[in-house]
Every structure is written in C-alpha cells, then in structure tokens.
Amino acid sequence: MSPRRKPQNDRNARGAKGGNSGSDERNIEDVALGFERTEEHADGDYKVRQITGSSSTKPYRCPGCDQLIPTATPHIVAWPAEDVESRRHWHTPCWKKKDQRKPRIERSRNAPRF
C-alpha cells in the first residue's frame, strides 16, 4: 500500500497561493466579519454585526457592563445607523439587554447608592 499524497489541486494550497476565485474569498470574509443587520431600539436604529472569535484580534471594553471582552471571543459590534464613528463592541448578552438597562450614573467612591 502506498502512502497518501495530497492532490495537486488542493483547495487550501490554491487559497494560499492566491489562485482562489473572488467569491470564495468574499464568503470567508463575510463569515469572519459577520453579517450586518439593522435593529430598532428605543433610542433609534442600529447597525449590528456579529463578530466571530477568530476575527477578534484585540480586547475591547463592553459599554454595557464595563468589562473587558478578551481576544478570540465572539461578540457584537453595534453603531447608530447614521454614525459609523460611534461603533462599539458589546458582549452578546449585554447587547440583548441594552433596552432593559437603567441609565448608568457615575458616583464618587463614597457616595450613597440611594
């Protein structure tokens, strides 16, 4: 029995050498970057994109819980529909509960909570 050999037209080898078609590359990018959708919320329309763990290459701070989103963690990127510069990275559960949160009030360390 002879040892197995890789076929000459291996799909991974073509992709690495750039011989791949443009549609395959675009599909890989869509999966990595997530699909963009529009959601309606109490404070307006938002563009929302779900990010996969493999495309998340640096840590972000979630505005919902003020905790760190580590690298390689799937999460949500959302921004107001008309303002791309206000793009923020959210934990998925934090984004889903966005409309149910009370406004965050910054208090000094020794201030009473009531």
Taking residues 42-69, report their average pLDDT: 90
More confident residue, 59 or 16: 59
Q: What angle do CA 103, 111, 61 make, to 5 degrees?
A: 45
What is the CB neighbour count within 10 angstroms for residue 89? Answer: 20
Taking residues 74-100, report their average pLDDT: 92
State how far the Cα of 41 lies from the Cα of 80, in Å rounded to an integer: 10
So where are the chain's domains?
Answer: 28-99
Mean of pLDDT over the chain: 75
Please report the beta strands in 23-104, taking only residues with DSSP state E, as ranges in sequence order: 36-41, 44-51, 60-61, 68-69, 75-80, 88-90
Supply 21's token pair.
Answer: 């078609």
What is the CB neighbour count within 10 angstroms for residue 69? Answer: 21
Under the banding of pLDDT at 50, 70 and 90, the label for residue 101 is confident
Taking residues 82-106, report their average pLDDT: 86
Query: Which residues on neighbouring strands pair with residue 39, listed in sequence order?
Result: 46
pLDDT tens readout for residues 11-29: 444 444 444 444 444 444 4
Percentage of the chain lying above the pLDDT 70 cut: 59
